[in-house]
Amino acid sequence: RKEVEQDPGPFNVPEGATVAFNCTYSNSASQSFFWYRQDCRKEPKLLMSVYSSGNEDGRFTAQLNRASQYISLLIRDSKLSDSATYLCVVNYGQNFVFGPGTRLSVLP
Amino acid sequence: GAGVSQSPRYKVAKRGQDVALRCDPISGHVSLFWYQQALGQGPEFLTYFQNEAQLDKSGLPSDRFFAERPEGSVSTLKIQRTQQEDSAVYLCASSENWGDYGYTFGSGTRLTVV
């Protein structure tokens, strides 16, 4: 099993849709979790941290399920500008492991 | 500086050539990571520094790869005798502490080995 796995995508959704991405990780000792977004040919940028209680930032909601070793990202009312690759990141000891990413295209 | 700066932005190397990639982290950031990103894949961990100490180099793919951060600020990733499979974007990221609040990436160096 890979350390961090994500929905393969791509996800093609119309503007205004709600879309959810899933990520699973294999290390039960992991403590830090993040979602990054990466635009084409750009560097990854931190979207949000993921906390045990779940957290929300505007249209974005992140959830963590430690028992199932699973995190999710929900985007409501998607915008064209949300089109990007979304990367799940989990710590393994001192290093941070990225998932392969899920590509989202929001269509007009 | 305002962000993480990497240079060069693009590098074309002939197979067998040595290359050096530079990363200037955000001033005062203790933690520094190097990642390798192949086209269409997520970044792969290479190595991690805390100040000048290289605490984890388990991701370096071979002994041709070497990283240093001698004064705890600027870091250099060196690749000796480059091979075609080394072609990728090399990303540097830094954070104020270990990174439990996320960290900031530079724009990367796109290395093409021909």
Could you read off the pLDDT of A18-62 as tens digits, one per residue?
A: 999 999 999 999 989 999 999 999 999 999 999 888 899 999 999
Tens of pLDDT, residues A68-86: 999 999 999 999 999 999 9
Are A18 and B71 a contacting pair, CB within 8 Å? Answer: no
Please report, in angstroms and rounded to a whole number, the separation of the first and last CA atoms in chain B.
Answer: 33
> Of chain A residues 34-63, which have a CB less than 8 A from chain B?
34, 36, 42-46, 49
A chain contacts of residue B105, beta-carbon cutoff 8 Å: 43-45
C-alpha to C-alpha distance for A19 and B90, rounded to whole angstroms: 30
Closest partner residue to A94 (CB to CB) among B43, B48, B107 is: B48
Q: Is the pLDDT of residue B1 over 70?
A: no
Which residue type occupies A46? L
Residue B100: predicted pLDDT:
67
Count of A-B CB contacts under 8 Å? 50
Distance CA A25, CA A67 (A): 11
More confident residue, B102 or B42: B42
Residue type, A103: R
Residues of A with Cβ-Cβ distance to B101 under 8 angstroms? 49
The reply to whether residue A43 touches residue B91, judged by beta carbons under 8 angstroms, is: yes
CB within 8 Å: B33 and A95: yes
Chain A hits for B99, Cβ within 8 Å = 32, 91, 96
| Tokens encoding B24 | 């200037």
Q: Which residues of A touch B104 (CB under 8 A)?
A: 46
- pLDDT tens-digit readout, B30-55: 999 999 999 889 999 999 999 999 99
B59 and A95 in contact by Cβ < 8 A? yes
For B70, left (φ over 0), alpha (ψ -120 to 50), or beta?
Answer: alpha
